[in-house]
Structure 1
Amino acid sequence: MSAALELPEVRWLGSARLTAGLDRHQRLDLAAHSRVHPPLADRTRANLLELAEDVDLRGRGGAGFPFARKARATLAGADRSGARPVIVVNGAEGEPPSAKDAMLLARAPHLVLDGACLAAVAFGAEEIVIGVAAGSPGEISVPAALAERDLPCPARTVCLPERFVSGESGALIRGVNGQPALPPAVKARAADGGAGGVRQRPTLLSNAETWAQLAVAAQLGPEAYAAVGTAAEPGTVLLTVNRVGTGPLVVEVPAGTRLGPVLDACAIPPGDGVLVGGYHGTWLHPVDAAGAQLSRAGLAALGGTLGAGAIAVLPADTCALGEVALVAAWLAAESAGQCGPCKRGLPDAAEAFAALAAGQPSALEQARSALGAAKGGGACSHPDGTARFVLSALDVFAPDVDAHLSGPGCGRPVRGVLPLPRAEGARLEVDWSRCSGHGLCAVLAPGLVRLGPHGYPSSSSVPVARWQEHGARRAVNQCPALALRMRPGG
């Protein structure tokens, strides 16, 4: 099986907990897992909730919501409805710079299942569901792990499209129920009814690392679990440290570890800026990044967020604005397109940032305005996270902004060092030899085509999100000059 899996490299600073045994094994099957992590005794509902509260276990998917509070809400929903709850493991890691959950499901799947099974027994679950990204190592590893062990209830694996929004909790639940894996238009708590199709059973959903942390806490007990980390945030955290030109490193460190030593251990210089928290995270100045504590509180003090623990460094030999513009365009195309901030705000911001990188003087204020309008009004956290990513870049890379707006630019090429998937979506292209400035394309696809000051499209090539394809085809089919065409991605 291991030959079929592309597995990220693993390291640790201090003691290995989630990564224990991975120095000796490519993947821990049940026999190897049992030698590294002794079988866990079942716990009662009250005992498991007390354990989660004692170690202040919080979600490791980005939001940091207290696990015990979420579990209590799910159990209250089950008591009200009379339905047994569903345990859902979120392993649909759709963010390019994050690989920690994929690593766990591929290399230590039984540790994740240990945590899920503990909850299933204690809370009387009807089913365990593990969501994985289609084509990821977890698609092979998780079913193999389920087949190896005795389970307290039925369990199944659900493969979801590898998209950024597929890992959002509401999108995951919709995917589990056989619907499109997109965030619902109206926010709803999974605890009140989530997975299970028509029955909509109360659902306790956490990401893969959270379930693995629960298992480690049950194995060690509260006091030993808190022997590393900080008083407020005990235990370890998993980081994905991205390296230019090679695969990512998944690194386990005690919570509160300084970022500088982590980068040193990975032989990565701080560059011109460090992104912490992934593409919904925050850019930090190199000096601030070196001393940043890798904890929720430590990064919040710098205006940042730990998120899912993804870290990327921007080297000095690439154009910072061009790199951010590429990610901003990808984030805009990855949205569900179901609310105003995603349909208009993010594409406007991406286009404005690309214009800023090209040196257009009015683009800076346009980008700030578009991102300000997008914040706070989305059906999910995607607009807010994207705004945080882009606005922090404007601050950290302020000298680059000045260079692009006041002169010939920074003089550096865009190397494409920030991880992005291979382009698969279509692009709308303008044939300038035919275009005569009718402007009909902007009417038929207003969220896609924007006209410049002379009435012509402002760009000759525009990425088309899935939800924009219908409007793009209308614009192509009805262009009077036959100047538009759709080019498939890939």
Structure 2
Amino acid sequence: MTSTVTVSGIGGPRLTLGFDRFDRLDLDRHLAVHGKLRAPTLEDLVRAAEQVDLRGRGGAGFPFARKLTAVAARVRYPTADPAPLPGERRDGRGSCEDVVVVVNGAEGEPGSAKDKVLLTRAPHLVLDGAQLAASALGTQRIVVAVEDDEAARSVRAAIGERRMPARIVRLTERFISGESGAVVRAINGETPIPPGVKVRASESGVDGHPTLLSNTETFAQLAVLVSLGPDLYASAGTQDEPGTTLLTVGGTQVVEAPLGTPLQAVLDRCRVPPSPGVLVGGYHGMWLDPAAVSRAVLSRAGMRRVGGTVGAGIVLPLTQGTCPLGEVTRIAAYLAAQSAGQCGPCRLGLPDVVRSLNALTEGAGTVEDVRRAAAVGRGRGACTHPDGTAKFVVSAMEAFGDDIDAHRWGGGCGLATYGVLPLPVPDGTEGRVAIDWSRCDGHGLCAYLVPELIQLDRHGFPVVLGTDIPSWMEKDVQKAVAMCPALALRVVGGVPGAPAARRS
């Protein structure tokens, strides 16, 4: 993937320093570019992170200093626990030797490439940050969790060059695989889905030990902070939000820009033509209309002012000529199918959201129907996936009002849905729904039973979205196959338990 991604910057490079000269910084090149870092004490590292308000770059924006102190407190004062969160499980005590530092290199979002760029081109910068944190916490246990083959090879080579006691864990490439609880479960050899209950990794993470878990860019930023020092680090960005950030634009361009940069300047740098709307923050982010894009500033505060979010640094402009509502519906169906299927808001709520979007697309539903479906189960999910999906959908109702009106009153906007928003490339490891068109009569029952995988076009005929069948949907798919009046639905691939006569 990274071979097709271009990297550029606005202002002076930090994370991408040396990229103009080297495709990949091995250890010698890394030391020549960034130098060898002095390992600060825990107190100094926490103080530096607090001084620049270093936040996680994986989407949640949690203060890094608080993560450090939470893990350290678990080791030093194992019985001085704050009150547990509702539904939270706690079952670990730590020592310095038990502490684990985890680099979360999982980029389950199809539109993100920044962490893979760092892991493949500047792996030592990421490992520097991980080692700085591990040293401050008095441990040598470092785990790098990755999804991408190229990233895994690059990190493995870097670990060998440094002769450091770190290990690599491969993750399944899936939208929810980057959620912190899912990463911990994967490292522990469990099913890589969110645990369903609130568990603080700082208290019970890898093997039940206190765990410091942050995403790839966060550790790279930590290394840059220690290298430059807080004052020089804060010379870029804004007073309240110092530093630079990495953005993935359109899924194919990675840009390093100072926080506080106008969003339009980034789009101009990437030569993005005028767009009917821009998605910021990825598929759990929010849509901005052209007026909001012109005012948007790349910072937490700047994005809040226009109703957006920086999130994981994903910027997806919508191409002129494709149906905005159709694109939103397509991604909502993908998100519904990507859930872990372990709670009502995902198993019932997200399919209802897709059904309401389908009805709106056909002119038979309303915006209020979509909002109502998106609000069901708000805040009650086993993880943030249903709320993030709802945020994505509801923001589209604001950003694409004209297109929605065309669908409501005219039955459509006259534009085809070209699928310009990125989705994963099929790898053939899971089954897929297929339709025998010589039999299909357009009954539409399949779209009602599995809306995450099948939608209806304006003529009432099914459109297969091309999404792999997740394990939790296998029974629903079997039911849809069995109930098809025309016997036109089948499964291609290896879904366990599907009727053999209807599989190919």
Question: Is the structural similarity TM-score above 0.5?
Answer: yes
Secondary structure at the residue paired with 1:6? helix
* Residue 422 (structure 1) shift: 2.5
Alignment of structure 1 residues 113-132 onto 2, 5 Å:
113-132=127-146
Aligned to 2:86: none
Aligned to 2:157: 144
- Return the match for 1:13 from 10, 14, 22: 10
CA distance, structure 1, for counterparts of residue 293 and residue 455 of structure 2: 40
Confirm or deny that 1:426 pairs with 2:423. Answer: no
Aligned to 1:410: 413
Q: Which amino acid aligns with 1:130?
A: V
Q: Which amino acid aligns with 1:473?
A: Q
Confirm or deny that 1:305 pairs with 2:305. Answer: no
Q: Does the 8 Å contact 1:333/1:466 carry over to 2?
A: no
Q: Does the 8 Å contact 1:91/1:208 carry over to 2?
A: yes
CA distance, structure 2, for counterparts of residue 377 and residue 229 of structure 1: 36
Q: Which amino acid aligns with 2:248?
A: T
Aligned to 1:94: 108
Q: Which amino acid aligns with 1:186?
A: V
Q: Does the 8 Å contact 1:346/1:374 carry over to 2?
A: no
- Return the match for 2:491 from 462, 486, 489: 486
Alignment of structure 1 residues 24-423 onto 2, 5 Å:
24-79=21-76, 80=78, 81-83=93-95, 84-135=98-149, 137-151=150-164, 154-196=165-207, 200-242=208-250, 248-360=252-364, 362-423=365-426
Q: Which amino acid aligns with 1:48?
A: L
Residues 369-424 of structure 1: CA distance to partner in whole angstroms, max 9, x if unpaired? Answer: 21110421111111111111111111110000000111142211212111111245
* Residue 448 (structure 1) shift: 6.9
Q: 1:369 to 1:116 in 2, by over 3 A?
A: same
* Residue 483 (structure 1) shift: 5.0
* Residue 313 (structure 1) shift: 0.8
Secondary structure at the residue paired with 1:88? strand
CA distance, structure 2, for counterparts of residue 229 and residue 97 of structure 1: 24
Q: 1:481 to 1:413 in 2, by over 3 A?
A: closer
Q: Does the 8 Å contact 2:337/2:453 carry over to 1?
A: no
* Residue 60 (structure 1) shift: 0.3
For this pair of structures, how many residues does the alignment match? Answer: 470
Q: Give ranges in structure 1 of 5+ residues lacking alignment.
A: none
Q: 1:410 to 1:5 in 2, by over 3 A?
A: closer
CA distance, structure 1, for counterparts of residue 329 and residue 419 of structure 2: 10
CA distance, structure 2, for counterparts of residue 431 and residue 7 of structure 1: 36
Secondary structure at the residue paired with 2:3? coil
Q: 1:359 to 1:451 in 2, by over 3 A?
A: closer
* Residue 451 (structure 1) shift: 13
Q: Does the 8 Å contact 2:108/2:175 carry over to 1?
A: yes
Q: Does the 8 Å contact 2:102/2:145 carry over to 1?
A: yes
CA distance, structure 2, for counterparts of residue 437 and residue 261 of structure 1: 49
Q: 1:54 to 1:302 in 2, by over 3 A?
A: same
Alignment of structure 1 residues 455-474 onto 2, 5 Å:
459=462, 461=464, 464-474=469-479
TM-score norm. by structure 1 comes to: 0.89
* Residue 263 (structure 1) shift: 0.9
* Residue 150 (structure 1) shift: 3.8
CA distance, structure 2, for counterparts of residue 77 and residue 458 of structure 1: 57
Secondary structure at the residue paired with 1:333? helix
CA distance, structure 1, for counterparts of residue 463 and residue 420 of structure 2: 24
Q: Which amino acid aligns with 1:476?
A: V
Q: Does the 8 Å contact 1:270/1:290 carry over to 2?
A: no
Q: Does the 8 Å contact 1:429/1:487 carry over to 2?
A: no
Q: Does the 8 Å contact 1:428/1:472 carry over to 2?
A: no
CA distance, structure 2, for counterparts of residue 214 and residue 119 of structure 1: 8
CA distance, structure 2, for counterparts of residue 170 and residue 71 of structure 1: 18
Q: 1:133 to 1:82 in 2, by over 3 A?
A: closer
Q: Which amino acid aligns with 1:241?
A: V
TM-score norm. by structure 2 comes to: 0.87
Residues 224-245 of structure 1: CA distance to partner in whole angstroms, max 9, x if unpaired? Answer: 0000101110000111111xxx
Residues 102-152 of structure 1: CA distance to partner in whole angstroms, max 9, x if unpaired? Answer: 1100110000000000011111124100010143x211111011000143x
Q: Which amino acid aligns with 1:182?
A: I
Q: Which amino acid aligns with 2:100?
A: V
CA-based RMSD: 2.7
CA distance, structure 2, for counterparts of residue 310 and residue 449 of structure 1: 25
Q: Which amino acid aligns with 2:57?
A: R
CA distance, structure 1, for counterparts of residue 418 and residue 249 of structure 2: 19
* Residue 359 (structure 1) shift: 2.3
Q: Does the 8 Å contact 1:239/1:309 carry over to 2?
A: yes
Q: Which amino acid aligns with 1:372?
A: A
CA distance, structure 2, for counterparts of residue 400 and residue 330 of structure 1: 21
Q: Does the 8 Å contact 1:329/1:351 carry over to 2?
A: no
Deviates more, 1:281-290 or 1:423-432: 423-432
Q: Give ranges in structure 2 of 5+ residues lacking alignment.
A: 79-92, 495-503
